[in-house]
Structure 1
């Protein structure tokens, strides 16, 4: 069964806001243009009345964002520890209440790593904590499946198409998109999806995660913590992102756009069933089968 509901779910507000707001600009001809810009709002998190951090967000899924942030920061181990998450846009804050407090909160917050996430994401505690405990399943994927997903995902970038200035992330399986979220930073979008998965008890072992942003160490760690074995991006990767993907077993597919992609880790999990007929000329490329035989 893919989804198991928790017996004790947090009491949560429902305070999602519009992702884009109207704005007026003047174009290169001096003409006035009416359009939209991506919203950006500050949301300060308070855990049991203690201030934690201020996140910059579109504000479309604030409760899921907060829930996923708590999980990915490893501040709360069990969702049933959380009593309530209440967002208040009049004060630009969210009150998180637990039943018995969070053990070692000061120590966890004392250690932090500023990541390469948009707007400089921050990971509290040791970035590499518990990575050795993660065991991801091996999941194969067809090349044709990647192409169909990319085509479908292009239709979901609603805020980007309307206002730009956002990143999108999606939870997928085979050719189905279960959840697509856009935010001002990719780390916010992945946290919101993580929050939704945590709340609903969604299994990530048969899923694929897509992001428009680059594949950094933070992105690989978060996807691994969500139990998702395949990470797909239209952007590039970082060295540490690649090293961690190899360490935890995440299949890493980057520069995925149109019919082009680069598999940096886990190529043996890809079934090349839709190889393009015309190969672009390149002096630095060769078949994976050729490189193995040399």
Structure 2
């Protein structure tokens, strides 16, 4: 059996939403919900790395996905313990992997355009030179089926708004499966959580579709490329750098996707239009 780290949670999981009283345009008092954003400081072998703002839905997957995507750790077999402590708002990751490179990596930081202020460390792009995701075709009908399946999610957004949702999906001959879905205050946190789950579950991304409610920035495209997922689906738009990187990595980028509408920004040759009337 493959090794998995020991997960220790020293306190109960925090609430995702909080009921508050608001006044509407007629002066009437209503009860609404707000998303519960909170800090989570990541420590790697007790060395402070970064503080994320998060809902904290699946913190162990979030911190492991973040550390892996930033190339701070890479060996699942050497992970020993993940300690989540909401009393101190901290997540400590203990590994026997060599982390002597940590200080040097932390010196080079790029603040990205991710909502909640995403951050990329070190030479992540250099490690992706000449990298290509698997080249996989996707049917128009499977895009529609995936979007339909996703309408049953977004619970926190429906209750409180102010969050993004991301999902790892699969679809074959119109049968869509949402492998995992997560919401967070920043879409970069959500994608790191999903990356951590794939890693912990020893799953690969070559046969998956990645969905996000947020825009496709360079950071989002890089993280999806690191997961090895060939198709990126977004309800929102795409930035110029995000599109350039998607083309570089060979990712099929489908944006403005909602209902029976979508726009293919890269990888057009990978899309098979099989729905009569070409509804897109």
TM above 0.5:
yes
- 1:91-126 CA distance string (max 9 Å, x none): 111111112441311111111111110121001102
Quickly say closer, same or farther: Cα 1:99–1:127, change in 2 above 3 A: closer
- 1:202 aligns with 203
1:8 alignment partner, one of 3, 6, 21:
3
- 1:51 aligns with 48
Q: Contact 1:48–1:101 (CA<8 Å) still a contact in 2?
A: no
TM-score, length basis structure 1: 0.89
Aligned residue for 1:237, secondary structure, equals coil
Structure 1: gaps spanning 5 or more residues: 280-294
2:92 alignment partner, one of 92, 95, 101:
95
Quickly say closer, same or farther: Cα 1:247–1:75, change in 2 above 3 A: same
Q: Contact 1:150–1:258 (CA<8 Å) still a contact in 2?
A: yes
Distance 2:276 2:16 in 1: 38
Q: Contact 2:216–2:242 (CA<8 Å) still a contact in 1?
A: yes
2:142 alignment partner, one of 125, 140, 145:
145
C-alpha RMSD of matched pairs (Å):
1.5
**Which shows bigger deviation, 102-111 or 224-233?**
102-111
Distance 2:250 2:127 in 1: 14
Distance 1:253 1:277 in 2: 15
1:110 alignment partner, one of 107, 110, 114:
107
Quickly say closer, same or farther: Cα 1:24–1:266, change in 2 above 3 A: same
Distance 1:242 1:84 in 2: 37
Q: Contact 2:83–2:91 (CA<8 Å) still a contact in 1?
A: yes
Q: Contact 2:64–2:196 (CA<8 Å) still a contact in 1?
A: yes
Aligned residue for 1:245, secondary structure, equals helix
CA shift, 1:129, in A, is 2.2
- 1:274 aligns with 275
TM-score, length basis structure 2: 0.94
Aligned residue for 1:76, secondary structure, equals coil
Quickly say closer, same or farther: Cα 1:76–1:261, change in 2 above 3 A: same
Aligned residue for 2:125, secondary structure, equals coil
Q: Contact 2:71–2:124 (CA<8 Å) still a contact in 1?
A: no
Distance 2:85 2:126 in 1: 32
Distance 1:17 1:124 in 2: 28
CA shift, 1:16, in A, is 3.6
2:77 alignment partner, one of 65, 74, 80:
80
Which 4+ stretches in 1 moved above 4 angstroms?
Answer: 275-279
Number of aligned residue pairs: 274
CA shift, 1:13, in A, is 2.5
CA shift, 1:134, in A, is 2.7
Distance 2:44 2:102 in 1: 10
Structure 2: gaps spanning 5 or more residues: none
Q: Contact 1:259–1:276 (CA<8 Å) still a contact in 2?
A: no
Q: Contact 1:42–1:55 (CA<8 Å) still a contact in 2?
A: yes
